[in-house]
Amino acid sequence: MPLAAVRVMAASVIVAARLALCSLAAMIALAADGARAQEPARPVEGLIVAVSEFSDPALAPYALTGARADAAAMRGAFKAFAGEDAPTMVLEGTAATLAQVREELTRLSNSAMPGQRIMLYFSAHGSRIPDSGPRDETDGEDEVLLLADAGEWRNGALPGALVDDELAMFVRAMRERGADVFLAIDSCASGGAMRGAEHMAVRTISPAVLGVPNRALRSAQRRDATWVEDDMPAGSGRLVTLAAGPTGDAAWDTPEGGLFTRSLAPALAASPADFVALVREQRQLQARSALPGPASEAGGAIESAFFFAGDLPDLVANARAMPLPDWTLDLHSAAAPRCDGETAGPPHLRNPAERLHLDHCDAVMLALAAPEPGFVDAWYVDSAGGRTLISPIGGLYLDGRSPAHLDFTFISHDPTTGTPFPAGTDHLLLFWRKGSAAADHAAIIEFAVGD
């Protein structure tokens, strides 16, 4: 199956008409009795790193009191969905040194195999240092996780710091060997050792506390970079990332555990159908907490089944079994020969009840309005079964008054090679639901590919 291409450009979403390895999160809360496509069980292994204390007395006041609880919660959650016999290495407290973490990441990288599933979890303080790698950071900084042997800046380096570039290197090595990786991080690198209420503290240590020279950070500015960039070639293992919040936002610590982990662990233990369901459950649990905190940040192959195994509902079959929503749907398309939605030609009204014949790179624009508030989960499913979520993970919100808009680009050729995709029918599925309830109405728009 050709490589998928899903990326955001300005206000539009680029959707390949054929999808193979999808990006991060996968599924909506649909009826559980839908048709299923099964994946065989595969080897699974976990690494849990929780830095609850520092060996350097100068950093002792910044010990993460909740990291010990995080380790226990994540180990229990991992065993709940992976099985009691699943190999799990837990590095907690003073055992969570940079050398030990590197040793475990090296072991996992060297032993990774096609089809293996690996979970990497980190509960630690974050911080920032001058970019020491391939100068790939737009703001001149690297994000780091501070491990148990972290210390003050010396000789142009920060001891005991796991740099984002190094973590990315290990993850890449695992995926190059065919392993699928789920990476979860409860930390933040926002800078500024802020303190919240007596019960809470932010999981970051200011570069100033660590002695990182100010001159190295003079160009610092907030950015939304990810810990691991997903630029792997076709055939590599998949990656899903889930972090306590975007780079620059706070991740909160409590004696009972990190705010993010306290909602992630029970969501994991529930073994959701897919990563989309996992992220939704985690966010809902956190939202019900009395403590503040940012929404988690998800990325990668979220359309995959949870932890890359198990069953996925047949979205097309589920949509066909549901009645049409009571809404107004306007559909337009516009020619955009360069796949550039900003320079697309004049829009033409289309009939969503007809099978649509579009040209490669045509811009597709939908306007949805409903008489009452609700959410739309929009999935693009190609004829080979590949799927892409083109609405936000939480759903496209309709306020019951004004239209909500959903735009994407139709692609009928492989974006890398230019090879036409095989002939078939692709489907845009629009599931309607109220709040966090399961979808109970759906609309289907068909697209002709290759004929």
Residue 190: strand, helix, or coil: coil
Q: Does domain 38-311 match CATH 3.30.420.40? A: no
Each domain of the chain, given as residue ranges in start order, spans: 6-35+314-449, 38-311
Least confident of 14-28, 53-67, 234-248, 408-422: 14-28
According to DSSP, residue 195 is labeled B
Confidence of residue 383 (pLDDT cuts 50, 70, 90): confident
CB burial string 176-203: b at 16+ within 10 A, e below? ebebbbbbbbbbbbbbebeeeeeebbbb
**Distance of alpha carbon 409 from alpha carbon 182, whole angstroms:** 29
- 6-9 and 12-16 beta bridge pairing: antiparallel
Name the fold adopted by 6-35+314-449.
Coagulation Factor XIII; Chain A, domain 1 (2.70.50)
Assessment of whether the complete model's pTM goes beyond 0.85? no
pLDDT at 328 over 70: yes
Asked whether 312 and 27 are in contact (CB, 8 A), the reply is: yes
What whole-number distance in Å separates Cα of residue 374 and Cα of residue 434?
Answer: 5
Rounded CA-CA distance 255/65 in Å is 5
Q: How confident is the model at residue 20 (pLDDT cuts 50, 70, 90)?
A: very low
Range with the lowest mean pLDDT among 12-21, 228-237, 332-341, 422-431? 12-21
Average pLDDT, the chain: 78
Which residue type sits at 364? V
Within 8 A by CB and 6+ apart from 172, the residues are: 228, 232
Rounded to whole angstroms, the Cα distance separating 346 from 334 reads 6
pLDDT for 39 beyond 50? no
* pLDDT reported for residue 244: 83
411 vs 352, which has greater pLDDT? 352
- Count H helices and E strands in the chain, helices first: 6, 26
